[in-house]
Amino acid sequence: MNNIEYFNFPEELINEELKRFEKESVIRRIREHDHTVWKDNPEEIVNRLGWLENHATMTTALSEIVNLTNQVQHDGYTQALLLGMGGSSMAPEVFRKVFGVKPGYLDLDVLDSTDPGAILGKEKNIDYNKTLFIVSTKSGGTIETISLMKYFYNKAIETLGKNNAGKHFIAITDPGSGMEKTARELEFRKIFLNDPEIGGRYSALSYFGLVPAGLIGADLELLLENAGKMAAKGMSEATATDKKSPAWLGVVAGALTNAGRDKLTFIFPPTLQPFGAWLEQLIAESTGKEGKGILPVVGETLAPPETYANDRLFIHYKMNGDKTTHHKARALAESGHPLIELELENHYDLGGEIFRWMLATAVAGWSMKINPFDQPNVESAKVQARKMVDEYSEKGALPKIPKDLNVEGIEVFSGFKKSDLHETWQEFLKSLEPGDKEIKGRSYISVQAYLNPKPETDYALQALRDKLQEDYRVAVTVGYGPRFLHSTGQLHKGDAGNGLFIQLTGKMPEDIAIPDQPGSSSSSITFGVLKSAQALGDRQALLDAGRKVIHFHFKIDTEKAIGKLINYL
């Protein structure tokens, strides 16, 4: 399993970093939980290393997950809806999309949006009598998750009655969190208390990932067994010279990032494509800080090799026997681009790949001289969003930002005035830094869609992404808000500042009230207002960090509006 090949590496650069890696006994020190691998200050390091042994400790907890699964199957449950954000929702979504649902188990869906249309879209498919709600939050206070919990708990009361509603909810959280207290008060069916020394983005093989995976009938023992095999390889002292080792991959990624190849671009066969979202949040949130960062690029349409600059490291995943992406990936290697090729035998090798990338990311953090376990810039967007909500509470309206253009059903907030959309695009995008063979700091574009995440919007956003990539030959990423705030949002504000940010918002035909308390009919704010406050707050946080931002607000159909943006590029 897990065969690996690599092409076009700067051997001298990599070998120098490998020598430093061995000299500093990095793996031994990581195994000993030595925080000085990364920083002199132990804060947010010594209490964030539980993932190193988690695959082993969780094997003794599987019976608890099996018991819950058996109970809800016996009680006639056929659906599960996970309410969570970031690390709490990414792995469950990957497991559902990659493994599918075993016959007789619960069909899992994930809700990680505050868009009213997205919430109503999920709700219309719910049979409350047969649905288990999974409230997943490490801190116990994630505003999106708690708001969704209150909304669906109240809906469950309406359908099932107050005495029965709690039986349809479970919680996954840290010990002592506000969510634990609430779950006990509301008599949730089950509370899973996770190891508090595991950060959210490193929690895929803990209760946060394994409980939802168990409910869909995934083979949890095999998943953990493969993680254990990768851990044994990764934590070996001989790891530096073993190309199959996670630590080797981390050294390579860190060294190439330091040399300017900071766009880590993933190529997946169709069945593994969902894994990219989990990798994106792990790598971006872990490395994007202190003016540094690895930009993970997932879901990009592969372009001809000659269109790529010298800021890329390609990672090509293959499934045993699947040649879907083989020729295009090898064309990149033949053109001289550095490429690592990983081949998996089956989908349960994901257990090993999850550990591979957690350790590789931690090692890359050592190479980049950053702390891969904190998220110092995530709070800035939250602070700004709270300010917006406070203003709404005081004045009954969110802050108004002056429009710079209002044309064809699209409002533009750019900080400069142009006469049409084409001129607006040209003015904004002229600041792209193309870089060259000798210069670091090549720009990238991030499309931030505070929109209803549905297939039609996915398609339109991909078309916009392809057009930007084709015209400007830079890496382009796409994320839905507020979901990306819990993943790539850290990198956007914490990296070297080479990103250009395109924020998209749209009209919300329906809105939904957020209950002030579970079981209460009173409400002080709606999901629509919360989402708008988060978009405004993130925009301000980006501007405060010196980033270039343009905001398009759609007063017309989303897909039609994105089409207009493409036409005027």
pLDDT tens for residues 363-393? Answer: 999 999 999 999 998 888 888 988 998 899 8
The side-by-side arrangement of strands in the sheet containing 410-413 is 405-407, 410-413, 548-554, 499-506, 444-450, 475-480
Asked if residue 239 has pLDDT above 70, the reply is no
- Within 8 A by CB and 6+ apart from 217, the residues are 69, 99, 101, 102, 103, 104, 105
- Cα gap 295→285, rounded to integer Å: 10
- Domains of the chain, each with CATH number or no CATH: 3-31+230-368 (3.40.50.10490), 53-218 (3.40.50.10490), 378-567 (3.40.50.10490)
- Of the candidate ranges 15-24, 327-336, 374-383, 467-476, the one whose mean pLDDT is the lowest: 374-383
Position of tokens 């550990």?
A: 355
The predicted pLDDT at position 439 comes to 52
Three-state SS at 354: helix
Reading the block at residue 334, the tokens are: 């033949």
Alpha helices in 124-199 (DSSP H): 143-160, 162-165, 178-185
Asked if residue 1 has pLDDT above 70, the reply is no
Asked if residue 481 has pLDDT above 70, the reply is yes
Cα torsion through 2, 6, 9, 11, rounded to 10: 70
Round the average pLDDT of the chain to a whole number and report it.
94
- Tell me what the mean pLDDT of segment 241-255 comes to: 91
Position of tokens 């058996």?
A: 70
pLDDT tens column, 12-63: 999 999 999 999 999 999 999 999 999 999 999 999 999 999 999 999 999 9
- Cα gap 564→561, rounded to integer Å: 5
479, β-bridge pairs? 448
Task: Please tell me whether the peptide bond between 482 and the residue prior to it is cis, using omega within 30 degrees of 0.
Answer: yes
CB 249 within 8 A of CB 356: yes
